[in-house]
Amino acid sequence: MTQPRAILVTQDLSREFQGFRAVNSVNLSIAEGTVHALVGPNGAGKTTLFNLLTGFLKPSDGRIVFAGHDITGQPPERIARLGVARSFQVTSLFPQMTAREHVQLALQSGTGLGHRFWRTDKLMRRFSARAVELLDEVELAHHADRPAGTLPYGQKRALELALALALDPRLLLLDEPTAGMGLEDVERTVALVDRIREGRTVVMVEHNMTVVGSLADAVTVLQRGEVLVEGPYDRVKTDPRVIEAYLGADVA
Ligand code: ADP
Ligand code: MG
C-alpha cells in the first residue's frame, strides 16, 4: 500500500508562555484526505496547537509545513489563503448579523479583493448565491435571514462551520465541534463533518470518543503539551497509557 501524502507536518513544534511549554516538541504528520482527531485532557495544548497551525500564535521553536509551504511564523491571512481554515472552540458570531451576511462576509474576505469591489451588484449577487449554497451544506438555508444571535446553539456552531467552508479550505481545523451539544446536534454534526470531509483533510479536537470513533482515521493524544500516543483509533483507544491518562476519566 502506498502511504498517503502528508499535507501537514510539524517538526519539534513548541510554544512557551512565560517559560511554560504549552506545546512541547510536537511532531505531527497529517495524511491528506483523512480525518485526524486530537484528543487529550483540558490544558493539554490542543487549542494552542491550532493557534500555531493557523498563525494566531507564533511558535517558540520548530517548524510547520503545509502542502509543501513552510508556514512557520506566517501571518494568519497568508495561511488561510494557502487553504487552512478553522472553527473556534468559543463561538464568535455577531448577534445582529444574519446567517447569510456572516457567510457573505466570510466569502468576501476569502477573495482577496478587499472592500473596493464589495459594492458591485454582480459580486454581491455572486456572494449571495454562494452563501445560500454554503448555508444549505450545513442545513441552515431556511435560517439564512435570521440574526445569528437568535439561532439555537447547535445552529450557531453549524453557521461557524459554513464560515470556515467559505474559504474552500484544503485543511479544516475544528476545535471541539460538538462541545456542549445534545445528542441530536452531535449526530447532526457527525453527519455534517462526514459530508464536508469529502475532498479535504480535517483535524478535529474532540472529547466525545463516540464521535472520534465514527469519524477519525487517526488519533493523536496530547498530554501536557506532548504527544502521548498516536495511531489508528482502534489501537489508540486500547492503549493503556491513553486509558490511564484520558479515557479513564471518562469511564470513571
Ligand atoms: P487545551 O485546548 O488542550 O485545553 P490550551 O491549548 O488551551 O489547552 O492550553 C494549554 C496550556 O497553555 C494551558 O495550561 C493554558 O493555561 C496555557 N495557555 C494557553 N494559552 C495561553 C496564553 N495565551 N497565555 C498563557 N498561557 C496560555
Ligand atoms: Mg481547547
CATH of the domain at 62: 3.40.50.300
22 lines ligand 1 (CB under 6 A): yes
CA of 22 to the centre of ligand 1 (A): 6
Whether residue 48 is contained in a domain is answered as: yes
Count of domains in the chain? Answer: 1
Torsions phi, psi for 133 (to 5 deg): -60, -45
Mean pLDDT within 93-107: 92
Mean pLDDT within 131-136: 95
User: What's the grid cell of residue 228?
Assistant: 502521548
Handedness of CA 163, 165, 170, 175 (dihedral sign): positive
Whether residue 158 is contained in a domain is answered as: no
Residue whose CB lies within 8 A of the most ligand 1 atoms, among 17, 39, 60, 203, for a mutation test: 17
User: Is the pLDDT score of 80 beyond 80?
Assistant: yes
Q: Residue 167 and residue 155: Cα distance in Å, rounded? A: 19
Of all atoms in ligand 1, which is nearest to the CA of residue 89?
A: 2
Q: Domain range holding 48?
A: 1-83+207-252
CA of 2 to the centre of ligand 2 (A): 34
CA of 52 to the centre of ligand 2 (A): 13
* pLDDT score recorded for residue 120: 67
Whether residue 148 is contained in a domain is answered as: no
Whether residue 46 is contained in a domain is answered as: yes
The whole-model pTM stands at 0.90
CA of 203 to the centre of ligand 2 (A): 13
Residue 53's closest CA among 16, 80, 92, 21? 80
17 lines ligand 1 (CB under 6 A): yes
Instruction: Tell me which of 97-101, 109-113, 169-173 is least confident.
Output: 109-113
Dmax over Cα atoms in the chain, in whole Å? 60
Whether residue 70 is contained in a domain is answered as: yes
User: Is the pLDDT score of 116 beyond 60?
Assistant: no
pLDDT band at 105 (very low <50, low <70, confident <90, very high): confident
Residues 92/175, Cβ–Cβ less than 8 Å:
no
Taking only the tens place, the pLDDT of each residue in 136-150 is 999 999 999 999 999
Q: Which ligand is nearest to the CA of 15?
A: 1
Map residue 199 onto helix, strand or coil: coil
Map residue 226 onto helix, strand or coil: strand
Q: Considering only CA atoms, which residue is closest to atom 13 of ligand 1?
A: 43
User: Is the pLDDT score of 69 beyond 70?
Assistant: yes
pLDDT band at 92 (very low <50, low <70, confident <90, very high): confident
Residues 172/164, Cβ–Cβ less than 8 Å:
yes
Q: Residue 218 and residue 52: Cα distance in Å, rounded? A: 20
- Per-residue b/e over 197-221, b at no fewer than 16 CB within 10 Å? beebbbbbbbbbbebbeebbbbbbb
Q: Considering only CA atoms, which residue is closest to atom 19 of ligand 1?
A: 48
- Per-residue b/e over 29-58, b at no fewer than 16 CB within 10 Å? bbbebbbbbbbbeeebbbbbbbbbbbbebe
* pLDDT score recorded for residue 182: 94
For ligand 2, a single-atom ion, the residues with CB < 5 A are 46-47
Whether residue 57 is contained in a domain is answered as: yes
pLDDT band at 252 (very low <50, low <70, confident <90, very high): very low
46 lines ligand 1 (CB under 6 A): yes
Torsions phi, psi for 224 (to 5 deg): 45, 45
